[in-house]
Amino acid sequence: MDLNNNIKLFITYLHDEKRYPDTTINSYERDLKNFSEYIKDHHLNYKDLNKDQIRSYLKYLDDLKYSKSSISRELSALRHFYTYLEVRGVISKNMFSLIRNPKKDKKLPNFLQNNELDKIFETIDLTTPLGIRNRLIVELLYATGIRVSELTSLKLKDIDINNHEIRVLGKGNKERIVFFGDYALKYLNMYEENARHILLKEKQSEYLLINNQGGKLTSRGVEDIINKVVNEAAIHHHISPHSLRHTFATDMLNNGADLKSVQELLGHESLSTTQIYTHITSDRLREAYLKSFPRK
């Protein structure tokens, strides 16, 4: 079977068996298509690649000005794909498992200051069903730190109003429990009472968040909503839905939460992923020290 047919089978496997989010599947499909074109153009046998040929491909991506994170993402897609091929006996050994990711440039996550968060909350118009839904989106992203794909996949049955808990299905089909406070509860109730049934337009849906056509809201839809709200709040640096996740983690650590707890709430597999937020909190501590300590 040729490479493209195996890629199609792999994508179907991710969708039907692994139930990966659409955003992840689309990303894998795009990366594997790039790889397939490279294999064809360079007349390589995809079943029998050596380490030098793989490094040449990574050098090719680098020459195309791919960022280190993009190259790492492509490597991740190829590792998963070749593991799939190895398990099914298409290849004898996954050579991509021997290739390390390029070292990432350390980049601090983008997060919101308290006054910026307040401006966003105040900007949203609560006199319309869409405005109430949009306020709930911001409240939940900030209150729980969940990913956008996790937010749009939330079903009504996942939310425990009485215990202020939400059951989240994260990466790799791993479940975790996140929590929310009284502010998020207020807008959950407002959305249920004054908005959701209007947005549904007499349709039925098990999903919490509904778009203006009465269907399930998508991750792209949430991104557009956040962009619109940020522009209306006149915040002049880049803020994405993920920035609210970063803000949640930063605020938790700044207010005394331990790193392990934040890791579990975010659904990070590795503690090292969560440790990026300690750079932010350390910078704030340094600033406070230099400003306040008399003997510098």
Amino acid in the structure at residue 135: R
Is 196 one of the catalytic residues? no
Q: 94 with 132, same domain?
A: no
Q: Are 91 and 235 in the same domain? A: no
The parent domain of residue 93 ranges over 3-98
Has 246 been annotated as catalytic? no
Q: 174 and 278: one domain?
A: yes
Contact 104, 69 (CB under 8 A): yes
pLDDT tens digits, one per residue of 98-123: 998 887 655 556 788 878 999 999 99
Active-site option among 171, 176, 197, 216: 171
- Is 106 a domain residue? no
| 19 part of the active site | no
Single pTM value for the model = 0.62
One domain, residues 172 and 270? yes
- Looking at the structure, do residues 142 and 80 belong to the same domain, yes or no? no
Domain assignment of residue 31, yes or no: yes
User: Among residues 147, 191, 196, 246, which one is catalytic?
Assistant: 147
Do 59 and 171 lie in a common domain? no
| 146-188 per-position pLDDT tens digit | 999 999 999 999 999 999 999 999 888 889 999 999 999 999 9
**pLDDT tens, 30-67?**
999 999 999 999 999 999 999 999 999 999 999 998 88
Is the same domain home to 145 and 250? yes
Determine, yes or no, domain membership for 23: yes
In the chain, how many domains are there? Answer: 2
